Chains A and B, each alone.
Chain A
Amino acid sequence: MISRRSVLKAVFTGGAIAGLGVMMPRIALAAWNATAFETDSQDAAMDAMYDSAPAASADVNLKAPDIAENGAVVPVTVSSGLAGVKSIAVFVEGNPQPLAAQFFIPAGTKAQASCRIRMGKTSAVTAVVETASGTFSASKEVKVTIGGCGG
């Protein structure tokens, strides 16, 4: 049986799409949406990316901690069972530039993306899944605390 470690090694060395997407977003030049990534407004970023505002959906699964262990690297996983997923994006409303990452999902690929995002303060985190038939979202608040003082 292949070990989890060898899989991870393969992912890291082979360059999975998600991994590359997070570490070097500018590589995906064709899809680089400068307006969306640089704006300080989440609404403006979404406007620049989608035809319509995303609708909240139970079919978008967003996994993120209630409280971040380290605001500099908050693990987020987004997945969806929706058909025809074209892209997955992650927004942090309280960040200076709310759009944190966008992943393009090739046809026939499982719609799941994981990344680690930077958060300056407690904020809503929103995952948006773009499909052929519309745009859907899920949100959750992630608390960022200065820590300490535990009993």
Chain B
Amino acid sequence: MSTSRRDFARMMGLAAVAGVLPQQGFAAKRQPGDFYEVPSYGNARLLHMTDCHGQLNPVYFREPSINLGVGPAYGKAPHIVGHKFLQHFGIEPGSMEEYAFTYLNFEDAALQYGKVGGFAHLKTLVDQLRGSYGSENTLLVDGGDTWQGSGINVKTRGMDMVRACNLLGVDIMTGHWEFTYHQEEVLSNIAAFDGEFLAQNVLVTEDALFEGADEYIYDEDTMRVFKPYSIRDMGGARVAVIGQAFPRTKIANPARFIPDWTFDINDDLLQETVDDLRDNQGVDAVVVLSHNGMDVDIAMANRVSGIDVILGGHTHDGMPAPTQVKNNGQTTLVCNVGSNGKFLGVLDLDIGKGKVNGFQYRLLPVFSEILPANQEMAALVAAERAPYAAWMDEELAVADEVLYRRGNFNGTFDQVICDALRDHYDAQISLSPGFRWGTSVMKGQTVTMERVLDQTATTYSETYARDMTGADIKLILEDVADNIFNPEPYLQSGGDMVRLGGMDYRCDPLAPMGSRIDEMRLDNGELIEASKTYKVAGWATVGSKSEGAEIWDVTADYLRKTQDVRINKLNTPVLKNVAGNPGYKA
């Protein structure tokens, strides 16, 4: 069912009457319907979502106050936060857009504007944007990290998201966390997906090919496991969409789930593909649907020529305008559209013979209190949730302050997880991975099991406690810091810094590998010694499965005991050389 333009305007009018639309700020200067009314431009429309991490219902999500750029990325999008972000993108302070794109005034704005995302609301928006432009000239593409992130996803092994994406009408997708199920499950999920799953950079290993993987892979000559690209006729033009899965999947996540496949950026293969599309297949525009992360996308746009647009994800950067990269006399647009279902990118292209003549871009926040729910999707979401509702609805504790994760260093929700680990294992130190997904809980709200699962739901969430020397701990911190702060994007792996409980340290993001971390001290002030042994607890081991309880159960036990969630001490590093960095909250 598609919503007509008139119905849409009428529903928006009702939202205004109901008082959910803002009474002040930038958005209030426009009519209610205008916020989501995007004028049509050109002959092809690409709707872009990414990294919703299994969030089928509306959520709160606080954007980062620290997102440091180093090397060539210093001070450039996406490494800009807060007021500097507003200035850079021309966003009115105090507006709804400020709430959507930044952490500023998060608590007050969240009360005023409510939750974001949710597939039923997103479906209404997608249908409106398809209907107004013409469905035949519109594609909905999903950059991945869609089939993981909720408690339901763990139980259904991602299949709830496949069903929701089918109803939403996703035409093309690529992946990352989709690969954290076993490879047979990945293949069966993809088989159940109505759209096309594309990845030019996932190859089968020679050993697996020898063992019979040729039975299912896309092409045994190139060794590609999945179809690399799809060519669509849109508005009289031939548009190629190439899939680029997360190149570090087997490093950042357990390789043991997907033993037969190998990942990398493979920009040499990408260049060959782009050249072939342009020279031999009469393609007029080349789009890469990428899960590289934005810094890698920008680097890749500098190295590979002939790409018109990179629709990117992974690093969860909601960018109101594309970054334009010049290469070989051509421009590549790099668009990144945030996470957790908060945003939908709308890119209209004017495509002529063999080239893109112009574009119009909007990144629309999905305000769930303004966009009415699509009833069919609401029913599907409710049905998917119902079998697990009793588990997820358990009320564990009340938040005495905002609980959130996103940021280069520790978030308050991570501190809760770290404190729970130390408590459970009676450990001196705890470690929690710097994932960028995980929703927020507002002050005074109940922390349910569902919110704990939002932070912890992976297929490898088992916990451990083990002895480590101070030297081991330093090695881990240095290694993870290099994955974030190496000035060469191709040597980064995305994610944020590992979170710690029970110890602090000093970090110089600009220092070279091995010299970024020092001043490691326990909470009692004692300096951590290289040769001394400490009891360390953690979760989400990528090497082999840990033996301990699931982290969500460890955290829930702690919350049931704690009742009021208050952060007594936030273990976060002292930072060197960040003064004046536009990616640092001043």
CB distance from B215 to the nearest CB of A (A): 10
A7, chain B: closest CB distance, angstroms = 10
Please tell me if the beta carbons of A150 and B494 are within 8 angstroms of each other in the complex.
yes
Determine whether the beta carbon of B541 is less than 8 Å from that of A148: yes
In the complex, what's the smallest C-beta–C-beta distance from B183 to chain A, in angstroms? 15
- Assess whether A12 is in contact with B210, with CB atoms less than 8 Å apart: yes
Interface stretch among B34-42, B430-438, B525-533? B430-438
B232-240, B262-270, B418-426, B564-572: which lies at the interface: B262-270
Given contacts A5-B210, A8-B210, A12-B210, contact A148 B433 (CB under 8 A): yes
Which of A83-91, A92-100, A139-147 lies at the interface?
A139-147
The stretch of A25-33, A43-51, A63-71, A128-136 in contact with B is A63-71
Q: Answer whether A145 and B316 are a contact pair too, CB < 8 Å, given A4-B209, A66-B491.
A: no
Cα-based distance from A5 to B435 in the complex (angstroms): 39
Measured CA separation A143–B514 after assembly (Å): 13
Which chain B residue lies CB-closest to A146?
B479
Q: How far is the CA of A58 from the CA of B248 in the complex (A)?
A: 28
B252-272, CB under 8 A of A: which get 1 and which 0?
Answer: 110100000011110000000
How many chain A residues have a CB neighbour from B under 8 Å?
21
What number of A-B contacts does a CB cutoff of 8 Å give? 91
Given contacts A67-B251, A67-B493, contact A148 B214 (CB under 8 A): no
A148-B263 contact, Cβ under 8 Å, with A5-B220, A69-B250: no
Q: Is the interface of A mostly helix, strand, loop or mixed?
A: loop
Enumerate chain B residues within 8 angstroms of A67, measured Cβ to Cβ: 248, 251, 491, 493
Contacts of B540 in A (CB 8 A): 148-149
Q: How far is the CA of A13 from the CA of B476 in the complex (A)?
A: 42
- Identify B263's interface contact among A9, A69, A143, CB under 8 A: A69
**A148-B541, A150-B252 are known contacts. Are A143 and B491 too (CB-CB below 8 A)?**
yes
Residue A3 is within 8 A (CB to CB) of chain B in the complex: yes
Contact A149/B491 with A3-B214, A67-B248, A69-B255 known, Cβ cut-off 8 Å: no
In whole Å, how far is B510's beta carbon from the nearest beta carbon of chain A? 19
A151 contacts partner chain B, Cβ-Cβ < 8 Å: yes
* 0 or 1 for each of B468-479: is its CB under 8 Å from A? (1 = yes): 000000011001
User: What per-residue 1/0 map shows which CB atoms of B186-224 lie under 8 Å from chain A?
Assistant: 000000000000000000001001101010000011010
- Closest CB of chain B to A45's CB: distance in Å? 25
**B495 in contact with A66 (CB, 8 Å):** no
Closest to A4 in B: B220
**Also in contact, A149 and B433, with CB within 8 A (given A4-B221, A5-B214):** yes
Please give me the 3 A-B residue pairs with the lowest Cβ-Cβ distance, nearest first.
Answer: A150-B252, A151-B436, A151-B495
